[in-house]
Structure 1
Amino acid sequence: MGSLWKKAKEAMGMNICVFVPRVQDEEENPRTEIGKKSETWDGDVEASLAVSGGNSRLDSDSLVPIKATSNSSRQLMSESRSSSGKRTCATCAICLGNMKAGRGALFTAECSHVFHFACIASNVKHGNRVCPICRAKWKELPFLTPLLDLPRGRARSNPVIWPQEDGSLRRPARASSFNRQHHLASPYTISEPNDYDDDEPVEFLSETVKNSEHRSTRTVDIKAYPECSAIPKLASEESFCILIHLKAPCAVSRTPFFQNSSLTASLPSRAPVDLVTVLDISGSMAGTKLALLKRAMGFVIQNLSPSDRLSVIAFSSTARRLFPLRRMTEAGRLYALQAINSLFSSGGTNIAEGLRKGAKVIEERKEKNPVCSIILLSDGQDTYTVSSTGGRVNRLSSDYRSLVPSSILSGVGHRIPIHVFGFGADHDSVSMHSISETSGGTFSFIESELAIQDAFAQCIGGLLSVLVQELIVKIERVNPDVHLTSIQSGSYANQVFDGANGLISVGDLYAEEERDFLVSVSVPPATAEETVLLKFYCSYRDPLSNEMVNMEGEDVGIRRPEHVAERVMSAEVERERIRVQAAKAMAEARVAAERGALSEAVLILESQRSILSLSAVGRSGDRLCVSMDAELREMQERMESRQKYEESGRAYMLSGLSSHSWQRATTRGTSIDSSGLAHSYQTPLMVDMLHRSQTLLLSPRHPMPVIRPTNSFSSRGV
């Protein structure tokens, strides 16, 4: 056996990968290196992550790191073999890619686990000398360059050791002799540059995407619904409602993306993204939390296309940019995965510094992709809101808005949204909700660590399908006797000009995303058979062509007969009224709960549930109304006691308010799909991406099956 490994070592020194079969007596010997390792492993999750660079085997049911006993180690060795003894197709534990013939050389370790040769060689380069799956120590290591004649027992590269006292992300100044001699690339540098002008250039859009024929098929659908079709001639209405309904165009290609390495492989005509992730790696993220965060980031990285760029900011007591905006080519993905896998948890929580670094990355870009966004995840209280003595400072919600750097708030229609994920029971949901509201992003509450990847999947399912930008809806009265009184648009800014005109700043829309707005007008008595009330226009930027598109809606009018036997309310208008009323009830209940009146808050929610159940759309079994009722009931249950409200009720309510105010899907509680609460705003591509994530979580070590895209129902219908 020794001669076989000698031949393997010589082959690997020449950049050749070979498969060395195990001999029979070695497989049957329980006193292997794996067995010795498993007998001495103490189960310390954080220490094991430090050795392996964050790669830990996850149990397919519990999704938490498990100990590798002697029996489980032997089971792991045989998992990649079929009953016939032939090696089966598997997934590389480092890049999560498929290992098939013709996709690059493979490396078979002493413990029989197989990896892409380039992936494991790069992993070992950073000092990891144990198997990422079973944690067995390796005596023979893969290298992409000739092996050095180092003394026996000496590591060929030193592990990256992060200081544990303050959570900062500095690499030791003394590099290993191997790295110094061979100048190997690393995801980290000794110090950060003062200017973030080292981003990788963007890949410019093809001219074929910019032609007018393509743009003509990607237009926003705009409709208007008056609350009733007719009112008597002599009658007048002081607050007559008209619903404006918008729907973004569908994606150009909806082929199953499970057959490809990324979602964007099936979306050749969507806008590329500049994504900055700001990740909490404080001490409270140690162990399983950090391991699952790394897995979730690996999912994000694998689903970005070569046109997309990614930069990662990690923060604890301080913050550091791990790498500049890099295109997610094969090399870029591997580079990003290495950086994520090398993270360690320690120190405090300084969200403000993390956001400042994220804003700096965006602000100092020399080139820009059409779509840009920030993802922020934290599980703790920000040091910005903590006094020097360690006690909490009483601050108003508006004070938290200063956490958002002004450099990314360049205007109402040009803001860079920060999609915030509050993790666990200890995060500051008030400040994080305020950050998302100020920037135009959403706030999601991740109650369970198992939902991190699903939450990220749903979010990027939207970010990777932006088809409309800077959308503005303009409202103009047609009849001079009609007066525009108000616009209900949630968190979207609106203006009314002298009762004659109005506008709504909507911003970005994902593929097939919908928006509803209620416009109130005063209707005077009439002499004609019909009264034309309003006219609608919309303008937006096509992110692919970077050109403005102007559209004109149909005039909205009502009949004016002498008498109306029965006034029939529009189902679309009534549904939107119910939704707006429920959102207001949630806001009122939260105000009551914050001043300690939990019983009053519960009564407010109960009253709204009664209104909903008695409405015509509620009695008809409308799916949006069913979801709203389930959400109100869940909020009531999370207000049973002050402790329960502090632990999860507040964050759950704020996530719901964020979802309804922006009409966009958020994660709430333990599961995205809990009671179908998020379905009302999910887009088809969000659903597709979520299914992809859940499939990977259910079977993390097996090839992913092909799953066809599902048709999510519209939030506007039954």
Structure 2
Amino acid sequence: MDSAPCGICHGDMRRGGRGGGDAVFTAECSHQFHFHCISGTVARGRIACPLCHARWRELPSFRRGNDAAPPGASASASASAARPFFRPVEPRVFDDDEPLVRAPRRLGERRHGGGATSVASDGGGGSAVALATHCENSAVARDACREDFAVLVHARAPTGGGGAAAAEAQRAPLDLVTVLDVSGSMVGNKLALLKQAMGFVIDNLGPGDRLCVISFSSGASRLMRLSRMTDAGKAHAKRAVGSLSARGGTNIGAALRKAAKVLDDRLYRNAVESVILLSDGQDTYTVPPRGGYDRDANYDALVPPSLVRADAGGGGGRAPPVHTFGFGKDHDAAAMHTIAEVTGGTFSFIENEAAIQDGFAQCIGGLLSVAVQELRLDVACVDTGVRVTAVKSGRYKSHIEDDGRAAKVDVGELYADEERSFLLFVVVPRAPAWDDVTHLIEVSCSYRDMETGRTTSVAGDEEAVVLRPSRAESGVAERSVEVDRELVRVEAIDDIALARAAAERGEYAEAAEILRSRQRAVARSAAARAGDAMCAALSGELREMRARVADRRQYELSGRAYVLAGLSSHAQQRATSRQMSGEVAPRRHAHGGGGGSSELPTGITVSYVTPAMLDMLDRSRRSRELTRPPPPQQQQQRDRERRRS
């Protein structure tokens, strides 16, 4: 039978035809095909024998011999991954997801009905979203009128404290779809590192979480249904990941359509849902390249409608975010950034391929600590004449009423301890001679609490007010450090966007000068002179960007990806990974809007990292140390002891 030609490409089975020495697949009907040929056929939706039309129940996927095991992988793990992984033929409808686990009610907890609403005070004790406001100056002269007075509105999600066991028991379960590029460029060490990173993700999911693995190259395949990560589920997931082999092109559009179908067709839904997309190449199917970067490319076409965030032009419902990872220097950063933007996800740049596990760890550290969903901030003006004129909300949708007397910001989902800061610019009118204070705004919020499942409303403890002294006394006004810090950040984001636009036009010297000028402005700011950690981290970030936009080669290799990952992070005030090649030592970086700092693993180069993310990053670091090969002398000693025994 081996001498018969392949039923698809008609090439010699012994030579491999188009597959070039490809493995042979023997179907249930006994017909044989090159593995490469039959994989392409199945990716196009055919689930029957091309020769006799017999319907197949199972399709094999084998680990290829040239996919090196990750450094330090155990022999048993390698052997397990090398075994064939048999996956069922994909059904037409993905309604085969595993049912959810219903967590038992905690002692003393009342059972809440759907739609219930509770009211919480903003005590800052960790059980509710904490709200605060800061005025640009503590005082404005009584006879002065300010048209652009800045007020900072700050929100912080409830803490995820109480220990790891308590946090695991209280957190909301996750539906996660991982979409993994296995095109030909992923062959070898890249694929081995991806498998190792996925093993870490699987190990850190709980029995209430569900995982689906999708692989894609020229087509896309669902390797396993959306399954709970019990011991059996984890073992099955690891076999699915171990079966991955690299070959073919890069069809990101097909991969995201498959992920959307998994989420759309499921019968059950966990409270938190997300997609992780990793790719090291450029889509050559949905958005064909025209040579180099194409600013007119319609990258939105890669995203199915059901994954588009409502405020980005999609439907009225809440769409799951797609967190994208550009792997190496050859991926399409513009495409990955667009996908993240239109779905409400983040874009991370993994230049240092060995650090992909840390990138995944940071991401799932956040996803496994979601504390708040559907958060909306509401702002109401208090005194007559006070009006909101502008809101600096980044990628978050904001709205100002026609009369300027109210505004709102739709924030959405927050991880435990995560913070958001928004600048509002308001009109401060002249005050009557008898008024010593002007009440500007009051802030409240509503959200769905993930611990109780209830819709909760929180009112800020205090209104934002300014004193109104006479002109002779107006010199007593104090400047807000919090507002200054946010002004520095917002102005830096604007200049980063301008530098990116200049670089895309080919004006690299102009882009570098924009970033140099902004870096100097950050250093001169009052917050930086006071030793603010966020300003120090931002200055370092601008310096790195400046080096990466200096010329065309550097910008094409890494500058575009680094800048876009920074814009993604700052626009959402959420941590992304920028794992740079050549970094060998940890750094200290700002955490959140509070100006503190945390010791971060190598390559974590941005602010907004939460404690849960840090914890998962530490787990990743420790797991990699455990699998790292011992030094040669130590290994030789172990070999001698093994021989003696």
Q: Which amino acid aligns with 2:333?
A: S
Tell me the CA shift for residue 414 of structure 1: 1.6
Give the TM-score normalised by the residue count of structure 1: 0.70
Separation in 1, partners of 2:307, 2:383:
41
Q: Which amino acid aligns with 1:454?
A: D
Tell me the CA shift for residue 567 of structure 1: 3.4
Q: Which amino acid aligns with 2:526?
A: A
Listed one character per residue, the Cα deviations across residues 361-417 of structure 1 (whole Å, up to 9, x for unaligned) are 111111100000000000000023554xx7449754672122111112363472210
User: Is the CA contact (8 Å cut-off) linking 2:67 and 2:187 kept in structure 1?
Assistant: no
2:151 equivalent among 236, 242, 247 = 242
User: Is the CA contact (8 Å cut-off) linking 1:618 and 1:625 kept in structure 2?
Assistant: yes
Listed one character per residue, the Cα deviations across residues 23-55 of structure 1 (whole Å, up to 9, x for unaligned) are xxxxxxxxxxxxxxxxxxxxxxxxxx9667898
Give the TM-score normalised by the residue count of structure 2: 0.78
**For the aligned residues, what is the CA RMSD?**
2.6
SS at match of 2:417: coil
Q: How many percent of aligned residue pairs carry the same amino acid?
A: 46
Separation in 2, partners of 1:314, 1:436:
19
SS at match of 2:411: strand
Unmatched runs of 5 consecutive residues or more in structure 1 = 1-48, 66-90, 96-119, 129-159, 161-185, 256-263, 704-718
Unmatched runs of 5 consecutive residues or more in structure 2 = 1-60, 113-117, 121-125, 312-316, 590-603, 631-645
Tell me the CA shift for residue 546 of structure 1: 2.5
Q: Report the counterpart of residue 446 of structure 1 in structure 2.
A: 350
Tell me the CA shift for residue 253 of structure 1: 2.7
Separation in 1, partners of 2:515, 2:274:
34
Whether 2:93 is the aligned partner of 1:195: answer yes
Listed one character per residue, the Cα deviations across residues 225-274 of structure 1 (whole Å, up to 9, x for unaligned) are 1111111111110100110111111115324xxxxxxxx78521000000
Separation in 2, partners of 1:529, 1:337:
67
Q: Which amino acid aligns with 1:558?
A: V
SS at match of 1:664: coil
Q: Report the counterpart of residue 696 of structure 1 in structure 2.
A: 623
1:594 equivalent among 494, 504, 518 = 504
User: Is the CA contact (8 Å cut-off) linking 1:609 and 1:629 kept in structure 2?
Assistant: yes
Separation in 2, partners of 1:497, 1:702:
62
Q: Report the counterpart of residue 273 of structure 2 in structure 1.
A: 372
2:303 equivalent among 404, 417, 425 = 404
The number of equivalent residue pairs is 532
Q: Report the counterpart of residue 31 of structure 2 in structure 1.
A: none
Separation in 1, partners of 2:425, 2:360:
37
Q: Which amino acid aligns with 1:380?
A: G
User: Is the CA contact (8 Å cut-off) linking 2:300 and 2:342 kept in structure 1?
Assistant: yes
Q: Which amino acid aligns with 1:481?
A: G
Whether 2:463 is the aligned partner of 1:555: answer yes
Query: In the superposition, relative to structure 1, how do residues 250 and 194 fare at CA in structure 2: closer, same or farther (>3 Å)?
Result: same
Tell me the CA shift for residue 198 of structure 1: 0.4
User: Is the CA contact (8 Å cut-off) linking 1:374 and 1:417 kept in structure 2?
Assistant: yes
Whether 2:410 is the aligned partner of 1:505: answer yes
Whether 2:77 is the aligned partner of 1:94: answer yes
Listed one character per residue, the Cα deviations across residues 548-585 of structure 1 (whole Å, up to 9, x for unaligned) are 00111121111111121243210000000000111111
Whether 2:178 is the aligned partner of 1:251: answer no
Listed one character per residue, the Cα deviations across residues 421-446 of structure 1 (whole Å, up to 9, x for unaligned) are 00111111001100000000000000
Larger strand share, 1 or 2: 2
Separation in 1, partners of 2:456, 2:109:
13
Q: Report the counterpart of residue 435 of structure 1 in structure 2.
A: 339
**Deviant stretches of 4+, over 6 Å:** 52-55, 213-216
Query: In the superposition, relative to structure 1, how do residues 380 and 196 fare at CA in structure 2: closer, same or farther (>3 Å)?
Result: same
Separation in 1, partners of 2:418, 2:267:
31
Tell me the CA shift for residue 211 of structure 1: 2.9
Q: How is 1:113-262 mapped onto 2 (pairs within 5 angstroms)?
A: 123=80, 128=83, 160=84, 187-189=86-88, 191-208=89-106, 211=109, 218-255=127-164
User: Is the CA contact (8 Å cut-off) linking 2:252 and 2:286 kept in structure 1?
Assistant: no
Answer with 1 or 2: which has the greater Rg: 1
Query: In the superposition, relative to structure 1, how do residues 58 and 365 fare at CA in structure 2: closer, same or farther (>3 Å)?
Result: closer
SS at match of 1:474: strand
Tell me the CA shift for residue 670 of structure 1: 1.5
Q: Which moved more, 1:446-455 or 1:552-561?
A: 552-561
Listed one character per residue, the Cα deviations across residues 646-673 of structure 1 (whole Å, up to 9, x for unaligned) are 0000000000000000001111141796
Q: Report the counterpart of residue 639 of structure 2 in structure 1.
A: none
User: Is the CA contact (8 Å cut-off) linking 1:265 and 1:305 kept in structure 2?
Assistant: no
User: Is the CA contact (8 Å cut-off) linking 1:448 and 1:669 kept in structure 2?
Assistant: yes
User: Is the CA contact (8 Å cut-off) linking 1:398 and 1:434 kept in structure 2?
Assistant: no
Whether 2:424 is the aligned partner of 1:524: answer no
Separation in 1, partners of 2:368, 2:281:
28
Separation in 2, partners of 1:518, 1:212:
38
Q: How is 1:526-675 mapped onto 2 (pairs within 5 angstroms)?
A: 526-527=431-432, 528-553=435-460, 554-562=462-470, 563-670=473-580
User: Is the CA contact (8 Å cut-off) linking 1:231 and 1:560 kept in structure 2?
Assistant: yes
User: Is the CA contact (8 Å cut-off) linking 1:470 and 1:505 kept in structure 2?
Assistant: yes
Tell me the CA shift for residue 625 of structure 1: 0.5
Q: Which moved more, 1:469-478 or 1:49-58?
A: 49-58
User: Is the CA contact (8 Å cut-off) linking 1:458 and 1:687 kept in structure 2?
Assistant: yes
User: Is the CA contact (8 Å cut-off) linking 1:667 and 1:678 kept in structure 2?
Assistant: yes
Q: Report the counterpart of residue 399 of structure 2 in structure 1.
A: 495
Separation in 2, partners of 1:209, 1:406:
42
Separation in 2, partners of 1:649, 1:236:
44
Separation in 2, partners of 1:494, 1:674:
35
Separation in 1, partners of 2:296, 2:215:
25
Q: Which moved more, 1:284-293 or 1:676-685?
A: 676-685
Query: In the superposition, relative to structure 1, how do residues 53 and 370 fare at CA in structure 2: closer, same or farther (>3 Å)?
Result: farther
Tell me the CA shift for residue 208 of structure 1: 2.2
